[in-house]
Amino acid sequence: MDWLYSLICALSFSTFTVVKGESTRAELAEQQALLDRASRADPAALGALYDQYSPRIYTYVYHRVGHAEVAEDLTGQVFMRMLEAVRSGRTWRTSFSGWLYRIAHNLVIDYYRRRGRASFVDLDDVDPVRSEADPLGAIEAKLDSERLQSALSRLTDEQAEVITLRFLEGLSIAEVATIMNKNEGAIKALQYRAVMALRRVMQP
Amino acid sequence: MNAAQRPLGKESDRLLAQIFDECAERVLAGETLESCLARYPQHSADLEPLLQSVVRVRGLATVPPRAPEVAARSQAQFMAAARQMAASPGARQRSRLASFWDSWLASFDVLRPIPTGLVAAVVGVFLAGLLVTGVVSASANALPGDPLYSVKLATEQARLWFTHGAARDLLNNQIQEERTSEAIAVERSRRVVDQIPLDGTLTAFDPRQWAVAGLVVRIDSGRTAIVGSPYLGALVRGTMRAPGDGSLVATYLSVEPRPTPIPTPPQIPSRPQSLMGPQRGGGVSRTPSPTGRHGGQHFLGIPTVYATRTRRALSNATAPSSTLGASTVPAVQTSAAGATTQAAPMVSRTVAPGALLTAVAKPTRQVVGTVAPGSTSAGTPEPESTPVPSAVPSRTTLPSATAVRYPSITPAAGTVAPSRTATALPVPTGTAVATSTPVPSPSPTTRPTSPPIGSGPVAPQGSPTGSSGSTVPASQAATATSQPAGATPTASPVVTPVSLVPDTGPASPLGIGETAGSSAEGANSPGYISTLVSLP
């Protein structure tokens, strides 16, 4: 009976894998169709992409700038640039998400160039909605964000970038490599050095 | 540079980076830190603090939720902009084009693993090759004066560079034919071209035009520079121009000297010592001949064209310095280095004592100079020059024979090495006649350097004695006993047993390129530039 049990398990796993693979392929095809429509300036497709990626872009920008309003403003600029790129025909080549993160990365760099590297989180700048619901949690979140921003600010730009994309945004090595225009081996080495540096700056 | 910034040069660091990435991936996926470290117990000490930092960062990554109204406003703005863009027909067209472009680029996905720099380099090399090929192809029909003509010439040289053996000769012939075709095309099209290369064999010539490589090239008597003496079959190189009247005018012609056989010194009869005495008008002299070997007339009846040497060359020829009087070695070498002109190789000759100077050319040379009375031009140690009360201010030499090269003349066996003492004699008819008397002297060689014509007395430069510098030097007297055409030689016609071994080649039919004293003195360098002068 054991062999029968093993056979059933194997068949079940195979079936699951095939179904999941088909599902993944279908999702990829659907995503590709969406991107094709968006590249042809289809408003519905562009809206769908906005809904899909704006939270992720906002989170990334927030981790880099540590300010909600600034993050919101920069997120809006990212998607406006996307529209401009679609209008001029200079859209993404391979990875749409990597291309979008690249726009956000450039905007963050421009933001820091405009106002300087020093950025401090104002504890009084608390999200009013959240402050009404959980003022203590909001303050803790701000403090955590302040610590994180302080630690990241003591790293190099590339180290802060790779930690943000890899561990805060959860992107894969391949995606980070695409965004940062490096190969995967270089990203792994950079990530290793970045975490070592982060550990040193976060030591009490 | 801290440890975090140092390059991962060691293999262990690379391995740790790889293992750390794998463990971090597992931790981000939800696996516990302990289980990850258990997979790599040998690296757990290094990995644990790093993975803890990752977990800590993840804990700090709290993002406040976006305000709904702000997010909605941002979305509304975006959608309005998207609809506005979609309403623009130009945007749709550009988007279609962009879509096509993207799909076309996607077909090259197979190239993606190749480094971008390598792809760019390959594409760059390909485009450069395409450009070069196009330019070379376009220059194939270029004519002299065209912008791409230099490319055509460079391409031919490149082809020659890579061709060897018989194929190279064939290619050379093809190139020469191409030059001829180009010149004919330029001639027929009546284009004005300043410089056209000329290279070929001289097949016919007369004073007004030469036939080279099948082209009839006009000789401009006032502007055409000719180096060398023409002869049938000579290889001629140079340049010509197309004035636009359907003709070709030579601007520079260089005639390759005919191959000269190794001269054999003639058997010089021993002469009595009495002839070498310091007698006036005796010693070394030459019998001047008013005409050359061909008498100033081409053997085909074409009037001879004489080449009058340029001022510099002439002056070099008329006032060579010599140490003939100080010679104790069997040979006295004179050099025409002073007559160096453009593209003129130095030609030196060795005048053997006892060489006969009268057998070669009959130059008609004009020498402007003054010989001071009483001055001598004698060799050392004992100059035996005869003081000359008055010198002839000018001397004219009209050569009518081929420029002769004397590569080397060796003294005849048994010849006593003499030195010669020159004596400048006043000649009423404007002829300076010098004689030299062989006197044993230890001067090995001399190199004549001459002042320009008309610059005053003809000074024997380089003379060991340097006595007065106002007499015709002995070497000149020995080598350039010449008279103007029709002049009566007043010097003693005693022929001393000093001979030069002349060129045995045929004389120039026209005498083109002939220079004054070209045969009998040390200025018979083939490398002078001549200006053609037609004799009446």
pLDDT in tens, A170-193: 888 988 888 888 889 899 999 999
DSSP at A161 = H
Question: What is the model's pLDDT at position B126?
Answer: 93
Partner-chain contact A58 B98, CB within 8 Å: no
Partner-chain contact B8 A192, CB within 8 Å: yes
- Between residues B273 and B74, which one has the greater pLDDT? B74
For residue B97, give the nearest of A89, A193, A197 by CB distance.
Answer: A89
Give the mean model confidence (pLDDT) for residues B416-443.
Answer: 42
Alpha-carbon distance of B316 to B518, in angstroms, equals 11
Kindly report the CA angle at A70 between A68 and A72, in degrees rounded to 5? 70
Chain A residue nearest residue B53, CA to CA = A199
Angle between helices A43-65 and A135-153 (to 10 degrees): 80
Give the mean model confidence (pLDDT) for residues A11-18.
Answer: 70
Give the β-pairing of B193-205 and B235-242.
antiparallel
- So where are chain A's domains? 41-119, 154-204
For residue B77, give the nearest of A76, A88, A199 by CB distance.
Answer: A76
ipTM over 0.85: no
Contact criterion met (CB below 8 Å) for B353 and B449: no
Whether the predicted pLDDT of A63 surpasses 90: no
Give the mean model confidence (pLDDT) for residues B45-65.
Answer: 82
For residue B82, give the nearest of A43, A90, A167 by CB distance.
Answer: A43
User: Chain B partners of A46 at a C-beta cutoff of 8 Å?
Assistant: 78-79, 82
Neighbours of B51 (CB within 10 A): 21
- Whose tokens are 């996307």? That residue is A82
Alpha-carbon distance of B157 to B57, in angstroms, equals 70
Question: What is the model's pLDDT at position A64?
Answer: 85
Give the mean model confidence (pLDDT) for residues A71-77.
Answer: 91
| Banded pLDDT at B99 (limits 50, 70, 90) | low
| CA-to-CA dists, residue B224 to B228, B240, B532, B533, angstroms | 13, 9, 8, 11
Please report how many Cα atoms fall inside a 13 Å half-sphere around the Cα of residue A193, on the Cβ side: 22
The A residues from 64 to 123 touching B (CB cutoff 8 Å) are 68, 72, 75-76, 79-80, 83, 86-91, 93-94
B93 and chain A in contact, CB less than 8 A: no
| CA-to-CA dists, residue B391 to B313, B370, B478, angstroms | 22, 5, 17
Partner-chain contact A193 B8, CB within 8 Å: yes
Whether the predicted pLDDT of B474 surpasses 80: no
Contact criterion met (CB below 8 Å) for B357 and B284: yes
Partner-chain contact A72 B16, CB within 8 Å: no
User: Chain B partners of A42 at a C-beta cutoff of 8 Å?
Assistant: 86
Q: What is the pLDDT of residues B174-228, one digit of tens each?
A: 888 888 888 888 888 888 888 888 888 898 988 888 998 888 899 988 888 888 8
Any alpha helices (H) in B88-216, and if so which ranges? 89-106, 116-138, 149-161, 166-189
Q: What is the pLDDT of residues B243-300, one digit of tens each?
A: 888 888 999 999 988 777 666 655 555 554 444 444 444 333 343 433 434 433 343 3
Contact criterion met (CB below 8 Å) for B527 and B227: yes
Contact criterion met (CB below 8 Å) for B23 and B37: yes
Question: What is the model's pLDDT at position A12?
Answer: 73
pTM listed for this prediction: 0.39
For residue B95, give the nearest of A41, A130, A200 by CB distance.
Answer: A41
Mean of pLDDT over chain B? 61
Whether the predicted pLDDT of A78 surpasses 90: yes
Q: How many CB pairs under 8 A join A and B?
A: 168
For residue B78, give the nearest of A50, A128, A170 by CB distance.
Answer: A50
Whether the predicted pLDDT of A144 surpasses 60: yes
For residue B57, give the nearest of A40, A55, A167 by CB distance.
Answer: A167
User: Chain A partners of B99 at a C-beta cutoff of 8 Å?
Assistant: 36, 39-40
Q: Do domains A41-119 and A154-204 have the same CATH topology?
A: no
| Banded pLDDT at A58 (limits 50, 70, 90) | very high
**Closest among B521, B337, B351, B332 to B444, alpha carbons compared:** B332
Question: What is the model's pLDDT at position B477?
Answer: 38
Question: What is the model's pLDDT at position B103?
Answer: 66
- Taking the CA atoms of chain B, what radius of gyration do you get in angstroms? 43
B94 and chain A in contact, CB less than 8 A: yes
Angle between helices A96-115 and A43-65 (to 10 degrees): 40
Whether the predicted pLDDT of B4 surpasses 80: no
Alpha-carbon distance of B246 to B120, in angstroms, equals 51
CATH number of the A154-204 domain: 1.10.10.10
B116 and chain A in contact, CB less than 8 A: no
Question: What is the model's pLDDT at position B355?
Answer: 40
Contact criterion met (CB below 8 Å) for B497 and B444: no
Neighbours of B267 (CB within 10 A): 9
Give the mean model confidence (pLDDT) for residues A148-169.
Answer: 86
The contacts of residue A141 (CB under 8 Å, 6+ apart) are: A130, B62, B64
Neighbours of B503 (CB within 10 A): 24
Residue B10: exposure state from Cβ atoms within 10 A (0-12, 13-18, ≥19): exposed
The size of chain B, in residues, is 536
Contact criterion met (CB below 8 Å) for B372 and B410: no
Whether the predicted pLDDT of B315 surpasses 60: no
The contacts of residue B281 (CB under 8 Å, 6+ apart) are: B423, B425, B433, B435, B491, B492, B494
Contact criterion met (CB below 8 Å) for B338 and B310: no
Give the mean model confidence (pLDDT) for residues A132-147.
Answer: 68
Whether the predicted pLDDT of B128 surpasses 90: yes
The size of chain A, in residues, is 204
- Per mean pLDDT, which range of B53-67, B161-175, B364-378 is the poorest? B364-378
B102 and chain A in contact, CB less than 8 A: yes
B119 and chain A in contact, CB less than 8 A: no
Residues A101-138 as b or e (16 or more Cβ within 10 Å = b): bbbbbebbeebbeeeeeebebeeeebbeebeeeeeeeb
Alpha-carbon distance of B363 to B481, in angstroms, equals 9
For residue B99, give the nearest of A40, A156, A170 by CB distance.
Answer: A40
Question: What is the model's pLDDT at position A50?
Answer: 92
Partner-chain contact B75 A144, CB within 8 Å: no
Question: What is the model's pLDDT at position B71?
Answer: 86
- Between residues B158 and B379, which one has the greater pLDDT? B158
Q: What is the pLDDT of residues B365-384, one digit of tens each?
A: 444 444 444 444 433 444 44
Alpha-carbon distance of B260 to B406, in angstroms, equals 9
B164 and chain A in contact, CB less than 8 A: no
Q: Which CATH number fits domain A41-119: 1.10.1740.10, 3.40.1160.10, 1.20.1600.10, 3.90.950.10?
A: 1.10.1740.10
Question: What is the model's pLDDT at position A192?
Answer: 92
Chain A residue nearest residue B15, CA to CA = A189
- Run of H or E including B196: strand B193-205
Please report how many Cα atoms fall inside a 13 Å half-sphere around the Cα of residue B277, on the Cβ side: 6
Contact criterion met (CB below 8 Å) for B346 and B528: no
Whether the predicted pLDDT of B43 surpasses 60: yes
Alpha-carbon distance of A105 to B267, in angstroms, equals 101
A43 and chain B in contact, CB less than 8 A: yes
